[in-house]
Amino acid sequence: MKIQIHGAGISGSYLYFLLRDEFDVGIDDVRAYPDCRCGWGITYKEAKKLYKGISINFDEYILSKPRYVITDSLKIKNRNIVTFDRARLLSELWKELEFKKIESKLEVDATGFKRAYLPRIKNDKIYSAIQTIERHEVDENIYAFGSKTGYAWAFPLGDGKWHIGAGDVTLERAKLLVEYLRKIYGFEEKGFECSCRAYIRFLPPSKCLPFMNGNVIGIGEAIGCISGFGEGNTPSLFSAKILRDCLINSNLEDYEMRILKEFKWIEIEHKFIEAIQEGKIFKFLLYLLKVASIEKKRTLNYSFRDVLSIIVNQIFRGIMR
């Protein structure tokens, strides 16, 4: 089968390598060089396994293994989040991509938040994000500061470099969050090496249907493979792997069901964020427990005390600010 992949971001380029030995694959991108707009955080175990599938040693791209995730009210031991050199990894993959458009039976929409080939999503939610690369002498932890609708982050990139950024419903709110983050953790504003604006889709897969339309099928953020906390790297890679499995086993009709099943945890995280945004206390408590249990397995070493502290903190703030 001939397959054309549109978008050579993290999911599209990965899918290309997964398929190139078994199919006739073309790939195209609107950009001349890879898009590096991302905090570069990723879940280590999953990334290592996924990239091994295309013969890449993920360890070579790790920049930092932060010890803790620190918010204004919590300090939680990190188990599985690392930062990686996404720009270098994608640049190296791009050198091996053969950019071309072929007459294809199947087209893949891997264009991220743009979703350029699938039908538009009714009531789509696209948030604004900003980010800079700066130098700071601060302990290598992940620092975060959240509001009702977004959060600011500081991700260590090793050698004193940091990604400082935020995502929220508007650019103004994102900028404000960065200001708070700077004040609280001491990331003084003193110039940057690089700065960007970007967009993030804030919807789970179930709200991004259809995943297939005619001969087009979506992967990655185009179909909502991004968590309520903005984690889209591993989910996007994983969606590409699911598509590859369906293609190899000639059961594309299972693709939608498999995506919805695999990313149930993303649906739950979005419900949790929804509860915060709506200020619904019981929904918040219910989903907090579910999210804590999901993330304990995936990323962080939560204790019961940590969960309790989140509850008390949010209740004192009226679950919002």
93 is an interface residue for ligand FAD by CB under 6 A: no
Q: In Å, what is the CA distance from 284 to each residue of 69, 290, 299?
A: 21, 10, 20
Q: Which residue of 87, 133, 169, 198 would you call a contact of ligand FAD, by CB under 6 A?
A: 198
Q: How far is the CB of 79 from ligand FAD (least distance, A)?
A: 16
Q: Which stretch binds ligand FAD (CB under 6 A): 5-13, 45-53, 172-180, 292-300?
A: 5-13
Residues 6+ apart with CB under 8 A from 60: none
Q: Which pair of structure tokens corresponds to residue 2?
A: 């001939």
112 is an interface residue for ligand FAD by CB under 6 A: yes
Q: Which stretch binds ligand FAD (CB under 6 A): 6-14, 56-64, 268-276, 287-295?
A: 6-14
- Residue 13 near residue 97, CB atoms below 8 Å: yes
Q: Which residue of 78, 128, 233, 314 would you call a contact of ligand FAD, by CB under 6 A?
A: 233
168 is an interface residue for ligand FAD by CB under 6 A: no
- Residue 234 near residue 42, CB atoms below 8 Å: yes
Q: Which residue of 4, 9, 23, 56 would you call a contact of ligand FAD, by CB under 6 A?
A: 9
Q: Which pair of structure tokens corresponds to residue 271?
A: 């419900």
Q: How far is the CB of 238 from ligand FAD (least distance, A)?
A: 11
Q: Specify the residue, 30 or 312, whose C-beta has the smaller distance to ligand FAD.
A: 30
Q: Which residue of 7, 26, 146, 156 would you call a contact of ligand FAD, by CB under 6 A?
A: 7
How far apart (Å, rounded) are the C-alpha atoms in residues 2 and 96? 19
111 is an interface residue for ligand FAD by CB under 6 A: yes
Q: Which stretch binds ligand FAD (CB under 6 A): 62-70, 108-116, 202-210, 291-299?
A: 108-116
For the purposes of burial, counting CB atoms within 10 Å of the CB of 32, is it exposed (0-12), middle (13-18) or buried (19 or more)? exposed
226 is an interface residue for ligand FAD by CB under 6 A: yes
Q: Scan residues 116-145 and list those touching ligand FAD (CB under 6 A).
A: 116, 129, 131
Q: Specify the residue, 107 or 306, whose C-beta has the smaller distance to ligand FAD.
A: 107
Q: Which pair of structure tokens corresponds to residue 88?
A: 């270098």
224 is an interface residue for ligand FAD by CB under 6 A: no
Q: In Å, what is the CA distance from 304 to each residue of 288, 309, 311?
A: 12, 9, 11
228 is an interface residue for ligand FAD by CB under 6 A: no
Q: Which pair of structure tokens corresponds to residue 227?
A: 């968590």
Q: Scan residues 29-68 and list those touching ligand FAD (CB under 6 A).
A: 29-31, 35, 37-42
Q: How far is the CB of 311 from ligand FAD (least distance, A)?
A: 26
Q: How far is the CB of 117 from ligand FAD (least distance, A)?
A: 7
- Residue 219 near residue 109, CB atoms below 8 Å: yes
Residues 6+ apart with CB under 8 A from 186: 138
Instruction: Please provide residue 259's backbone torsions phi and psi, each rounded to the nearest 5 degrees.
Output: -65, -45
Contacts within 8 Å (CB) and 24+ apart, 236-239 = 236/9, 236/10, 236/11, 236/14, 237/10, 237/11, 237/14, 237/46, 237/47, 237/50, 237/51, 238/46, 238/50, 238/262, 239/11, 239/263
Q: Which residues bind ligand FAD (CB under 6 A)?
A: 6-12, 28-31, 35, 37-42, 110-112, 114, 116, 129, 131, 165, 198, 200, 220-222, 226, 230-233, 236
